[in-house]
Chain A
Amino acid sequence: MTPPRWLTNVVLGIPPYGWAVVWLSLMLLGLAMVTRVSNVPGTQAVTQAQVMLAGQAWNTAETVQLPHVWDHAKRQWDAEAHYLLALPEAFKDRARADGQELGLLLPRVGVRFRVMFNGVEVAAQAWDRGAGYTDAGIHAHFIVLRPSMMAPEWADNRLEIQLKGQALRISGLSPVWVGPRGALWQRYQWLNWWQVNLTWMVAASAFMLGLLSLLIWTKSAERLFGLLAGSLLVLAVRLWLSTPVFLPGPFLAWDYLHKLSFTLYCGFTYLFMSELFHFSQSFVRKLVVLMMRLGPFWLGMLAWTQNYQLYRLWTGVIVVVCVLSLLMVIHRARWGMDVQQRLMVVVGLATMVTGLRDFLVVQMGFPGDVDIRWMTPGSLVMMFAMGSVLLQRTALSMENVGRQNAELARQVGERERDMHAVFERLRRVENQRVLEAERRRLTRDMHDGLGSQLVQTLNLVRSSGTNMDSAQVAAMLNHALEELRMTLDSLEPMEGDLPTILGTLRQRIGPALQAAQIDLDWQVEEVPTVPSLEARGVIHLFRCLQEVFANVVKHAHASRVTVRTWSADGRVHLAVTDNGIGLGGSPDLAFSSGGRGTSNIRLRAVEMDAEVVFSAAWPGTCVAFSFAASTAPCPAVLASTTRSDSLHGLNRAS
């Protein structure tokens, strides 16, 4: 069976604060129901007693109405007060009957007390003033009056409740309940649940929520979570100190912490609300911050002087601040509030209702159970409302982070695509640049080598006419072909391997040397790679060596030429040495000072980042090149047989 559509729409249309109104109203109604009366059937409250200070005679005792604060007029922290109570006549017969034990219920009493019945101590708590912190007044006490303890005459029964004063704590006595043990025991359990168990539950909840807020604050650094964490953790401390625990150490130190935690709780709670309602730089906000900073010193002074008026004054300050905060909220509400703010206002008002009820019932005598305070469940609701806001803020923050991450990812993606496009353009441009450079190099090389050779051949053919020397033309064409092959050789991947480069060159120049009947002494050994001998460097080296060998063949009148490689001192050396007439031996020798061949070789050596030295070899000429070697190991395809010869080796070879 499905609910009607209109009902669904109504339910879904109710905002969160609307639901809060509904549930809080139900909660307050339920509280009113369970605490409407404080009477326990079959029992009676003793509302009158005689009180006197310890050491005085009973005839000086004063008759007072309960509840009574015995040190209300003058603080006597070290004194004792004795209350003498009369047992109601109604239980005279019942107390003597077997199995009809009477019970005594003390809903509220001072910090230290003991109960004397007919001169026998039947109950006591924190009676001795030893070091330690405990407060007997924060929960109810149940005492059994056994029939054997009764005096023979009912009027002779003497119930005396003695209280010891405690610095900065008010002592007194609330009405004492007398009645059948069973009925009062149920009442005692009921009060114990409200006063102790519920306080523990609220303290534990505050501690857990406080830790959660603290964790989120450390991760998100959002101020709201930090304030909530502060508020809930100090509340947990205060509630912990409001349970029946015994803590070692000076009482005043724990009492100081108890009072300070309340000050900080109020301060943090206001700042949380201030943050939630965006009260930026308001007067009240500054006042609260001042209160939180001043609180530790003020309360320290209170503990030092033990002047209770200071605490009254401080409580007044807190009340003023809380009232101002409430006014600020109301003032802020005129401009409209969001869902979270409305929720907090609703819950805050409900919590104030619980506090107001406690005040009216306890202080003003309005009807209701005076021993059950609404503020405790009210605090719990307030705390869960703050937790709900926290949860919503967290969810909202995570949604925002998710959206921002998605937006960031989109922007990064776009940027990445742009970068890829830019890189692709750069790559194409770089490819074009490299291709253009290579094209220019090949063009220049072909112009200087192949083109020149072909032009010479063409001129020879044209000038020879019908008397063309075919052998000479074939030789020149063959030379042109060799030029072309040399250019293509330079394009092969030799990876800076000098022996391979020289070996390739040997194929081209070998036949010319053989034709000139010049022996070639090949002493090429493995050397480290030469980074500068890439394609452009290879063609420069080819041209240099071509020039050197052409000089040997045409001008040096040599019968032997030695090619040698070695490495030393991080450099790779190459030497070409002939046994010809040497430098200056022939006027047309290209290597003589200022020759075009020399300058060409020097220029090309600079281009391939090499040093070149021309020297006499006695007899003959030595042209030595020196290259910077790679730091990488020798080509793996070749054995590492480097030699440690130095330049002296060059002269030895010569």
Chain B
Amino acid sequence: MDSHNFLTQRQGQADETRLYLIEDDPLILHFVSQTLLQRPSWRLLGHSASLAHACEHALASSANVFLVDLCLPDGRGEEVLALLSRKKPEAELLVFTVFGEESRLVGALAAGATGYVLKGCTAEQLVLAIEQIREGGAPISPLLARMLLKQFRTVPEAPSALKANAVSLSDRESEVLKLLARGYVNKEIASKLAIGPSTVSTHVKNLYRKLAAHTRVQAVMIAQEHGLL
């Protein structure tokens, strides 16, 4: 294999969408499998129906998109998310949820999730969500945007030791979040702020990552303060 072919193959592998499903409901597994028929180039590399199995096999897989259910029979999906975000920082972590409970979603995002998909969506909507997140976007509801704003707002009230390492929002991110919280969609926000819709999506995704970073920094600082590290 010459070097050109090798690079092309590596490039192709990087662009390739490789999925891993962590879900105990066989109907969802069936639904995802059927959905992938619409995208022959996408591959479902594996499936875990429990937390223990996911911690062992999902980490070993080379998937770049993980679909994670938060309610697993032997534990919480947030644990898998935290593990994957630490071991595979380049992977996209999509939460599979029935109702989009924002209160719990904030915890999942803090654990490292980069987006979420509602169960009950159509195959086309699932494909769209995966494509969107692969292109750098992330879904967000008004209530979730409001919660994220609140989450970041607590940073200035944190102890001084945290402030130095605390993550804060840029002005643009803050504007995007405020408009999202009022119910504006990406296209309308882009129009109001004179930026592209994809930029809005990127801002949201950055917010997710900042949220995870923010909470991790806090966790480390608190642990150090208590002499645990």
Measured CB to CB, the residues of A under 8 A from B are 478, 481, 484-485, 488-489, 492-494, 497, 499-500, 502-507, 510, 522, 524-526, 635-639
Distance, CA A524 to CA B146, complexed state (A): 15
B103 touches A492 (CB 8 A): yes
Chain A residues within an 8 Å CB radius of B145 = 503
B184 touches A500 (CB 8 A): no
Residue B136 at the chain A interface, CB threshold 8 Å: no
Chain A residues within an 8 Å CB radius of B184 = 503, 522, 524
User: Which of the candidate stretches B18-26, B43-51, B54-62, B94-102 sits at the interface with the other chain?
Assistant: B94-102
B183 touches A506 (CB 8 A): yes
Look across to chain A and name the residue whose beta carbon is closest to the beta carbon of B181. A500
Give min CB distance, B166 to chain A, whole Å.
Answer: 17
Knowing A503-B181, A507-B142, A522-B183, the reply to whether A637 touches B100 (Cβ < 8 A) is no
CB contact between A526 and one of B102, B120, B141, B182 (< 8 Å): that residue:
B182
Distance, CA A232 to CA B76, complexed state (A): 85
Residue B127 at the chain A interface, CB threshold 8 Å: no
Give min CB distance, B38 to chain A, whole Å.
Answer: 17
Residue B216 at the chain A interface, CB threshold 8 Å: no
CB contact between A478 and one of B120, B143, B150, B153 (< 8 Å): that residue:
B120
Select the residue from B145, B146, B153 with max chain A CB neighbours within 10 A. Answer: B146
Chain A residues within an 8 Å CB radius of B103 = 492-493
B182 touches A499 (CB 8 A): yes
Distance, CA A322 to CA B223, complexed state (A): 86
CB contact between A637 and one of B99, B146, B183, B188 (< 8 Å): that residue:
B146
Distance, CA A639 to CA B183, complexed state (A): 15
Chain B 78-132 interface residues, beta-carbon cutoff 8 Å to A: 99-103, 120
Flag B176-208 by CB within 8 Å of A: 1 or 0 each.
001011111100100000000000000000000
Chain A residues within an 8 Å CB radius of B150 = 637
A500 touches B142 (CB 8 A): yes
B153 touches A637 (CB 8 A): yes
Distance, CA A637 to CA B188, complexed state (A): 20
Can you list 28 A-B pairs with a CB-CB distance of less than 8 A? A481-B120, A485-B99, A485-B100, A488-B99, A489-B143, A492-B143, A494-B146, A499-B182, A500-B143, A500-B146, A500-B181, A502-B142, A503-B180, A503-B184, A504-B141, A504-B142, A504-B183, A506-B142, A507-B141, A524-B182, A525-B182, A526-B178, A635-B146, A637-B146, A637-B149, A637-B153, A637-B178, A638-B178
Look across to chain B and name the residue whose beta carbon is closest to the beta carbon of A507. B141
Distance, CA A637 to CA B184, complexed state (A): 16
Give min CB distance, A576 to chain B, whole Å.
Answer: 13
Chain B residues within an 8 Å CB radius of A478 = 120
Distance, CA A96 to CA B183, complexed state (A): 132
Distance, CA A638 to CA B179, complexed state (A): 9
User: Besides the contacts A503-B181, A504-B143, what 9 more A-B pairs have beta carbons closer than 8 Å?
Assistant: A484-B99, A492-B101, A499-B181, A500-B142, A504-B142, A506-B183, A522-B184, A524-B182, A637-B146
Chain A residues within an 8 Å CB radius of B182 = 499-500, 502-503, 524-526, 638
Chain A residues within an 8 Å CB radius of B180 = 503
CB contact between B183 and one of A481, A488, A489, A499 (< 8 Å): that residue:
A499
Secondary structure at the B interface, as helix, strand, loop or mixed, is helix
Knowing A504-B183, A522-B183, the reply to whether A494 touches B100 (Cβ < 8 A) is no
A638 touches B181 (CB 8 A): yes
Chain A residues within an 8 Å CB radius of B141 = 503-504, 507
Distance, CA A492 to CA B182, complexed state (A): 15
A502 touches B183 (CB 8 A): yes
CB contact between B142 and one of A485, A499, A525, A636 (< 8 Å): that residue:
A499
Chain A residues within an 8 Å CB radius of B100 = 485
Distance, CA A568 to CA B184, complexed state (A): 23
Give min CB distance, B123 to chain A, whole Å.
Answer: 12
Distance, CA A37 to CA B157, complexed state (A): 94
Chain A residues within an 8 Å CB radius of B188 = 522
Give min CB distance, A553 to chain B, whole Å.
Answer: 18
Chain A residues within an 8 Å CB radius of B178 = 526, 637-639
Chain B residues within an 8 Å CB radius of A488 = 99, 101
Distance, CA A489 to CA B142, complexed state (A): 11
Give min CB distance, B224 to chain A, whole Å.
Answer: 29
Chain B 26-72 interface residues, beta-carbon cutoff 8 Å to A: none
Distance, CA A506 to CA B184, complexed state (A): 9
Distance, CA A270 to CA B79, complexed state (A): 90
Distance, CA A524 to CA B145, complexed state (A): 15
Give min CB distance, A358 to chain B, whole Å.
Answer: 84
Select the residue from A478, A484, A524 with max chain B CB neighbours within 10 A. Answer: A524
Chain B residues within an 8 Å CB radius of A505 = 183
10 closest A-B pairs by beta carbon, nearest first, are A503-B183, A503-B142, A499-B182, A637-B149, A506-B183, A524-B182, A500-B146, A488-B99, A637-B150, A481-B120
Give min CB distance, B156 to chain A, whole Å.
Answer: 11
CB contact between B146 and one of A484, A485, A497 (< 8 Å): that residue:
A497
Chain B residues within an 8 Å CB radius of A503 = 141-143, 145, 180-184
Look across to chain A and name the residue whose beta carbon is closest to the beta carbon of B149. A637
Give min CB distance, A455 to chain B, whole Å.
Answer: 19
Chain A residues within an 8 Å CB radius of B149 = 637-638
Give min CB distance, B127 to chain A, whole Å.
Answer: 17
Look across to chain A and name the residue whose beta carbon is closest to the beta carbon of B177. A637
Chain B residues within an 8 Å CB radius of A493 = 103
Chain B residues within an 8 Å CB radius of A522 = 183-185, 188
Chain A residues within an 8 Å CB radius of B101 = 488, 492
Look across to chain A and name the residue whose beta carbon is closest to the beta carbon of B184. A522
Give min CB distance, A263 to chain B, whole Å.
Answer: 76
Chain B residues within an 8 Å CB radius of A499 = 142, 181-183
Distance, CA A635 to CA B182, complexed state (A): 12
Give min CB distance, A502 to chain B, whole Å.
Answer: 5
Chain A residues within an 8 Å CB radius of B181 = 497, 499-500, 503, 637-638
Chain B residues within an 8 Å CB radius of A636 = 153
Distance, CA A525 to CA B183, complexed state (A): 10
Chain B residues within an 8 Å CB radius of A510 = 185
